[in-house]
Chains A and B, each alone.
Chain A
Amino acid sequence: MIVESRVLALPRANVDTDQVFPGKYLSLISREGFGEKLFEGMPGGRELLASKPGARIIVVGDNFGCGSSREHAVWALVDYGFKAIVAPSLARIFHENAYNNGLVPVIVRDPQAHAACLAAERLSIDVANETIRAEGCEIARFELDPLKKEFLLRGGFMEYLASKVDTVRAWTRRRVS
Chain B
Amino acid sequence: MPQSLFDKVWDAHVVEELPGGNALVFVDRLIAIEITTPQPAAEIAEKFADRLFDASRIVAINDHVSPAKDTETAVQAQALRSWAKRHGVVMYDVGANGICHVVTPERGYVEPGITLVCGDSHTCTHGAFGAFALGIGSTAQGGVMLAGAIIMQKPKVLRVNVSGRLGNGATAKDLALTVIATLGFKGATGCIIEYHGSAIEALSMEERMTLCNMAIEAGATTGMCEPDETTIEYLRGREAQPKGEEFERKAAAWRGLKADPDANYEGVVEIDAAKIRTVVTWGTNPGESVSIDGAVPADADAQSLEYMGLVAGTPIRSLALDQAFIGSCTNARISDLRAAADVLRGRRVMIPTVITPGSQAVKRQAEREGLHDVFQDAGALWTHSSCGPCLGLSMGVVAPGMRIISSTNRNFPGRMGAGGRVHLATPVVVAASAVLGRIATPDELPAVQAETAAANR
A interface, CB within 8 angstroms of B = 12, 14, 16, 18-19, 22-24, 26-31, 41-43, 62-63, 66-71, 74, 89, 91-93, 96-97, 100-101, 145-148, 157-158, 161-162, 164-165, 167-168, 171-172, 175
Contact digits for B6-22, partner A, Cβ 8 Å, 1 yes 0 no: 00000000011011111
Contact A158 B47, beta carbon cutoff 8 Å: yes
Q: Which residues from B are CB-within-8-Å of A16?
A: 285, 410, 412
Set B26, B79, B120: member contacting A171, Cβ < 8 A:
B26
Contact of B392 among A22, A62, A67, A164 (CB under 8 A): A22
For the complex, is B39 an interface residue (Cβ under 8 Å from A)? yes
Cβ–Cβ contact B189 & A63, under 8 A: yes
Pick from A66, A146, A164: contact of B149, CB under 8 Å: A164
Judging by beta carbons under 8 Å apart, are B413 and A164 in contact?
Answer: no
Q: Is the CB of B186 within 8 A of A172?
A: no
Write the chain B residue with the least CB distance to A175.
B26
Flag whether B247 is at the interface (Cβ < 8 A): no
| Contact in complex: A92, B189 (CB < 8 Å) | yes
A-B contact pairs, 18 of them (CB 8 A): A12-B303, A14-B285, A16-B285, A23-B391, A23-B415, A26-B35, A27-B35, A29-B76, A67-B410, A68-B410, A93-B137, A158-B47, A162-B147, A164-B15, A165-B53, A165-B148, A171-B16, A171-B26
Smallest Cβ distance from A10 to chain B, in angstroms? 12
Interface centre among B20, B43, B44 (most CB of A within 10 A): B20
Contacts of A71 in B (CB 8 A): 36, 39, 119, 137-139
Whole-angstrom CA separation of A23 from B216 in the bound complex: 18
Residues of B within 8 A of A70 (CB): 35-36, 137
Q: How far is the CB of A77 from chain B (nearest CB, A)?
A: 13
Q: How many residues does chain B have at the interface if contact means C-beta atoms less than 8 Å apart?
A: 65
The residue from A19, A63, A93 contacting B413, defined by CB atoms under 8 A apart:
A19
- Interface assignment of B130: CB less than 8 Å from any CB of chain A: no
Residue in chain A with minimal CB distance to B185: A14
CB pair A91 B72 closer than 8 Å: no
- Within 8 Å by CB of B70, from A26, A27, A147, A168, lies A27
Asked if B105 CB lies within 8 Å of chain A CBs, one says no
Contact A41 B418 (CB under 8 A): yes
A71 to B120, CA, bound (A): 10
Q: List B36-57 residues whose CB lies under 8 Å from chain A.
A: 36, 38-39, 42-44, 47-48, 53
Q: A124: shortest Cβ distance to chain B, in Å?
A: 25
- What's the nearest-Cβ distance from chain A to residue B153, in Å? 7
Interface pair A28/B72, CB less than 8 Å apart: yes
Once the chains are docked, how many angstroms separate the CA of A27 from the CA of B42? 15
Tell me, yes or no, whether B143 is within 8 Å of chain A by CB: yes
Tell me if B119 and A18 are in contact (CB < 8 A): no
Specify the chain B residue showing the minimal Cβ separation from A165. B147
| Interchain CA distance A139-B34 in the complex, whole Å | 44
Please name 16 further chain A to chain B contacts, defined as beta carbons within 8 Å, in addition to the given A23-B392, A29-B39, A69-B119, sorted by A numbering: A18-B391, A19-B412, A63-B186, A66-B285, A69-B136, A89-B186, A91-B186, A92-B189, A96-B152, A97-B139, A97-B140, A100-B140, A147-B19, A161-B143, A165-B147, A168-B149
